[in-house]
Amino acid sequence: MNLQFPDGFLWGGAVAANQCEGAYNEDGKGWSTQDVAPEGIKGPITEVPTDNNMKLIGIDFYHRYKEDIKLFAEMGFKVFRTSIAWSRIFPNGDELEPNEQGLQFYDDLFDECHKYGIEPLVTISHYETPLHLSKQYNGWVNRKLIGFYERYARTLFTRYKDKVKYWLTFNEINSILEEPFMSGGIYTPKQDLSKQDLYQAIHHEFVASALAVKIGHELAPNAQIGCMVLSMPTYPLTPNPDDVIATMEYEHKNYFFADVHARGIYPGYMKRYFRENNINIHMEPEDAEILRHTVDFISFSYYVSTCESGASSQLGESEGNLMGRVANPYLKTSEWGWHIDPQGIRYVMNMFYDRYQKPLFVVENGLGAIDKLITNDQGEKTVEDDYRIDYLNDHLVQVAEAIADGVEVIGYTSWGCIDLVSASTAQLKKRYGFIYVDRHDDGSGTLERYRKKSFHWYKDIISSNGQTL
């Protein structure tokens, strides 16, 4: 098969500040929600940061980013996705003036990327709400968050307008449905959170996201600003119409997020859901106009597909990064129980493009696996990660299929291009990288970096623009 990726396709990798930077209390940084979640997304929250929290040191990217970006450049990266830690810029989130040391760090980081011709792709908020905003305001439930986020986004666009072209407003914005604390900074425990408060918080995020698009376009005319959703194609478990309708309704809950970002209005199916669940979203008069500032592109993560059934309550749930419904009997799973479905990425890309006709950006995809560091015949330390190569290869072939289907795609950034701390389980043994980092869940390790077999494989993919897949 002749796989065609467009000229100028942005090949690269992705990380998030809280999962790699470490330096959780350096240079004026405030605490974020991540600093008190030592066991990851589903674990307990502590009062203060505790030593068992792997993210406090992460992979020490804050101090080693030059070495890491040099390795990304060696692979030929055209783009590097990272996030800005909100609490480095506004330590509590509600200050009037930003923290200059935090701003300087990202200036230096972006300069380092440009030194190698790597375009930064920046997530404004990636699961790291300043803790103060979570505890004092209950995160996005409170409308005041819109103003704090707007000030933060304005600060970033003003400062980095000449260094950053591609922006994402919120990471996996739909994950708030499952993880209100990590995704939305909502301090109320999930089991006590009303649907009213949850969807009000979502509305506030929509308005904030659209405001970021508006002010981003004003302050940085070359900026391309996208939403970012957790994509999880959902298949009916059987052709039973009950399963098909249950699937449609489940998908609506997720498509809702991209629909509002791409179309600027609330879809009818959500209005129905609100009516039937006694949810009354409070909107200020200006909100409708703000929402019309729609995104330039749709970005998404893709790891798993899932199934839905009209009788799903009696069926086994599948694992997912944050979400997941009924297990698919045709698919194998990863060591963490995530379904592996390369064709799902082609399917979901077609769905998004058919729905919006906006360019897509694949900003996360990858395999979390246990790696074994070995010394090869040349005496180099490495990992023979053929399983990761197979996973990525199979998915990229399907990205090419989607391109052949006519889908417009800006680029592809594989998740965790360097090993980092996992979001769901806060483990380092769940490795995604092309680069092995010598750090372990008991806190031991030298933090040395080693090229895995996949490092060389990805380098070839990039230099051939996908021809070696």
Q: Which of 257, 256, 339 is nearest to 302 (CA)?
A: 339
The answer to whether 385 contacts ligand BG6 (rule: CB under 6 A) is no
The answer to whether 424 contacts ligand BG6 (rule: CB under 6 A) is yes
Q: Are 180 and 193 in contact (CB under 8 A)?
A: yes
Q: How far is the CB of 2 from ligand BG6 (least distance, A)?
A: 32
Tokens, residue 365:
């995809």
Q: How far is the CB of 90 from ligand BG6 (least distance, A)?
A: 21
Is residue 459 within a helix (H) or strand (E), and if so which, with residue range? helix 453-463
The answer to whether 99 contacts ligand BG6 (rule: CB under 6 A) is no
Tell me the per-residue interface mask from 256 to 295 with ligand BG6, x by CB under 6 A, - otherwise: ----------------------------------------
Residue nearest to ligand BG6 as judged by C-beta position: 424
Give the integer Cα–Cα distance in Å for 297 and 361.
7
The answer to whether 306 contacts ligand BG6 (rule: CB under 6 A) is no
Residue 103 or 399 with smaller CB distance to ligand BG6: 399
Contacts of 143 (CB under 8 A, 6+ apart): 204, 284
Q: How far is the CB of 405 from ligand BG6 (least distance, A)?
A: 25
Is residue 251 within a helix (H) or strand (E), and if so which, with residue range? helix 241-263
Angle value at C-alpha 197, between 192 and 203, nearest 5 degrees:
145
Beta-carbon neighbour count of residue 221 at 10 Å? 8
The answer to whether 430 contacts ligand BG6 (rule: CB under 6 A) is yes
Tokens, residue 243:
């399963």
The answer to whether 16 contacts ligand BG6 (rule: CB under 6 A) is yes
Q: Please spell the DSSP secondary structure of 364-380, one letter per residue.
A: E----B----EE-TTS-
The answer to whether 368 contacts ligand BG6 (rule: CB under 6 A) is yes
Residue 99 or 321 with smaller CB distance to ligand BG6: 321
Q: Please spell the DSSP secondary structure of 261-276, one letter per residue.
A: HHHSS--HHHHHHHHH
Residue 301 or 328 with smaller CB distance to ligand BG6: 301
Report helix, strand or coil for 344: helix
Judged by CB under 6 A, the chain residues 148 through 207 that form the site for ligand BG6 are: 171-172
Query: Applying CB under 6 A, which part among 109-117, 399-407, 421-429, 444-452 lies near ligand BG6?
Result: 421-429
Query: Applying CB under 6 A, which part among 90-98, 219-227, 310-318, 422-430 lies near ligand BG6?
Result: 422-430
Give the integer Cα–Cα distance in Å for 417 and 80.
9
Choose which of 255, 415, 450, 457 interacts with ligand BG6 (CB under 6 A): 415
Q: How far is the CB of 132 from ligand BG6 (least distance, A)?
A: 22
The answer to whether 423 contacts ligand BG6 (rule: CB under 6 A) is yes
Beta-carbon neighbour count of residue 89 at 10 Å? 27
> Is 442 exposed, middle or buried, given 0-12, 13-18 or 19+ CB atoms closer than 10 A?
exposed
Choose which of 234, 414, 422, 454 interacts with ligand BG6 (CB under 6 A): 422
Q: How far is the CB of 82 from ligand BG6 (least distance, A)?
A: 11
Query: Applying CB under 6 A, which part among 197-205, 341-349, 395-403, 423-431 lies near ligand BG6?
Result: 423-431
Residue 152 or 338 with smaller CB distance to ligand BG6: 338
Query: Applying CB under 6 A, which part among 22-30, 71-79, 90-98, 420-428 lies near ligand BG6?
Result: 420-428
Judged by CB under 6 A, the chain residues 310 through 329 that form the site for ligand BG6 are: 321-322
Write the DSSP symbol of residue 118: P
The answer to whether 224 contacts ligand BG6 (rule: CB under 6 A) is no
Give the integer Cα–Cα distance in Å for 139 and 86.
13
> Is 116 exposed, middle or buried, given 0-12, 13-18 or 19+ CB atoms closer than 10 A?
middle
Q: How many helices (H) and strands (E) does the chain have?
A: 14, 14
Tell me the per-residue interface mask from 103 to 142 with ligand BG6, x by CB under 6 A, - otherwise: ----------------------------------------
Kindly name the residue from 172, 178, 364, 401 that is annotated as catalytic: 364
Length of the chain: 469
Give the integer Cα–Cα distance in Å for 48 and 81.
29
The answer to whether 364 contacts ligand BG6 (rule: CB under 6 A) is yes
Tokens, residue 403:
């391109």
Distance of CA 181 to the CA centre of its chain: 16
The answer to whether 229 contacts ligand BG6 (rule: CB under 6 A) is no
Q: How far is the CB of 43 from ligand BG6 (least distance, A)?
A: 12
Tokens, residue 421:
């701390």
Query: What residues are paired with 230 via a beta bridge?
Result: 301
Q: Is residue 364 flagged as an active site residue?
A: yes
Q: How far is the CB of 18 from ligand BG6 (least distance, A)?
A: 8
Active site amino acids: 364
Q: Which residues bind ligand BG6 (CB under 6 A)?
A: 16, 19, 171-172, 301, 321-322, 364, 368, 415, 422-425, 430
